[in-house]
Amino acid sequence: MLNSIYNKMPKKFFLVGVINTIFGYSVGITNYFLFFESIGIIGVGIINNIMAITFAFILFKKFVFMTTNTNWILEYIRSYLVYGIQAIVGIFILWLCITVLKLNIYFSQALSIISVVFISYSGHKKFTFRI
C-alpha cells in the first residue's frame, strides 16, 4: 500500500520531503540541546514545528506545487491546518519517547518526523495549495 501511495506522489514532492526531513530532524536535535533544560520537550516540539512547517511551506510553494496565488498568508495558514494534527501527534511522540519510554532524542525525533510524510501530500494537494 505504501508503495502505491509513493508511486502517485510527484518526485519533486518526495525530493522536497527528503530535504524537509533532514532540516526538521536537524532543527529538532539542535533545539533539544539548546532549549530542553529551559522549556522542556513540549516547548522544544512547538519551536521545532514552527520552524519545520515554515521551511516546508516555502519549499512546497516554490518548487512542488508552484501556485501563483499571491495570497501567501492564506496558504501558510492552510499549511498549519494540514500540519496541525500531525504536529500534535509529533509532539506527543517526542514526549512519550523521551519522558515515558526514556528513549534518546535521535530515535524519538526520527519517529516524530516519519509520522507526517504521506498524509502531508494529500493535505497540501487538496487543501493548502488546491491544485
Q: Spell out the SS3 assignment of 55-99.
A: HHHHHHHHHHCCCCCCCHHHHHHHHHHHHHHHHHHHHHHHHHHHH
Residues 6+ apart with CB under 8 A from 108: 93, 94, 97, 98
Pairwise CA distance, residues 81 & 56, whole Å: 14
pLDDT (0 to 100) of residue 90 = 80
pLDDT given at position 3: 55
Which amino acid, 99?
T
* pLDDT tens digit at each of 131 positions of the chain: 445 545 556 788 889 888 998 999 999 999 999 999 999 999 998 999 899 999 999 998 888 888 876 788 998 998 888 888 777 878 888 899 999 999 999 999 888 877 766 667 777 778 888 75
Angle at Cα 63 formed by Cα 55 and Cα 14, nearest 5°? 80
Q: Which three cell numbers stand for residue 9?
A: 506522489
Grid coordinates given for 44 = 522544544
